[in-house]
Amino acid sequence: MKRWIGAASVALMVFAAMPAQAADKVVLMLNWYVYGEHAPFYYGKAKGIYAAEGIDLEIQEGRGSAATTQAVAAKTADFGYVDVPTMMRAAIKGAPVVATGVLLQTSPMSAMGFAEKNIRKPEDIKGKTVAITPADSMTQIWPLFLKKTGLKESDFKTVAGDGQTKLNAVINGQADLLLGYVMDQSMKIKDATGKDVFPIKFADYGINMVSSGIIANSDYVKANADLVRRFMSATTKAVEAAEKEPKAAAQAILDANPKGGKIDTLTQGFELTIPLYRTAETKSKRPFQVTDQNMTDTVNLMVEYGGLDAKAKENPKAFYTNDYLPKSGS
């Protein structure tokens, strides 16, 4: 009996000494400096959702969707969170990148100004001054917005500058509106001034485009199919958890990065992001489950207005896959 207990004890000690299986180190590079839209990633990490899938997640801030796409193409980041139409431009030119999940299925693009100016509809833009950043994604789609709403370039004035100059123009009264994302620039303006901003959303006028999503290197996806599935499973769960607790999700940003903003505007920015996750077709589906039609419409718009090579229309499915997403209820 003693001999058996001794053998069992040795076996237990050997088992206890065996190293636990190491989590897979994964780098996710964001599209920009952190803001409310990014809350689910930080919340998922803080709540152990990624760890539960065997993933040790490192979140890195980005310097624009184009730069993050380049980093993913070069495998200096495992995954990127970027503007999917921007990724399409790189992919059609040969960059080995693919979207493994499209989170923002309704466009956040808008023309926005201080709410107190009472600019609430396209007609109100007449006679005003609009700040733009030349060649950015919103400025490329702006002519389509004008066409859809019956506006002409001669109906308003335009001032141009980089992203910060555009913000300053509205903050300082040199422009009435700027072209920006509902959950990004509007919160930056509110942080700086304390004033509410009203966005005239492009999506409300029939401009149906996807926006941000998760991308990965095509070769990385093929070589790491199980890891990609686990990452997309964790990210789906992180988004669903964050949707239920917006303020806690926003707080996770500040816990990781105390200089990442202010809790009120981070929370509001994230709350403005949530409605963009789904379209009428995907309202009953889990996050990231984009439809083929939504992606085809986006490709067609990008070819006509966004400078995307016309050959992209031959195979819109080359830009994305839903194959690595968790099934409903899993």
pLDDT along the chain (330 residues), means of 10: 48 47 93 95 98 98 93 98 95 98 96 98 98 87 94 97 94 97 93 96 93 98 98 98 98 96 96 96 96 96 92 97 86
Cβ count within 10 A of residue 180: 28
Per-residue confidence (pLDDT) for residue 20, from 0 to 100: 56
Per-residue confidence (pLDDT) for residue 18, from 0 to 100: 44
202 CB-contact burial (10 Å; exposed 0-12 / middle 13-18 / buried 19+): buried
Instruction: Output the CA torsion 173→179→184→190 (10° steps).
Output: 20
**Which residue has 């839903």 as its token pair?**
322
Per-residue confidence (pLDDT) for residue 322, from 0 to 100: 98
3-state secondary structure of 285: coil
Per-residue confidence (pLDDT) for residue 330, from 0 to 100: 55
pTM for this structure? 0.88
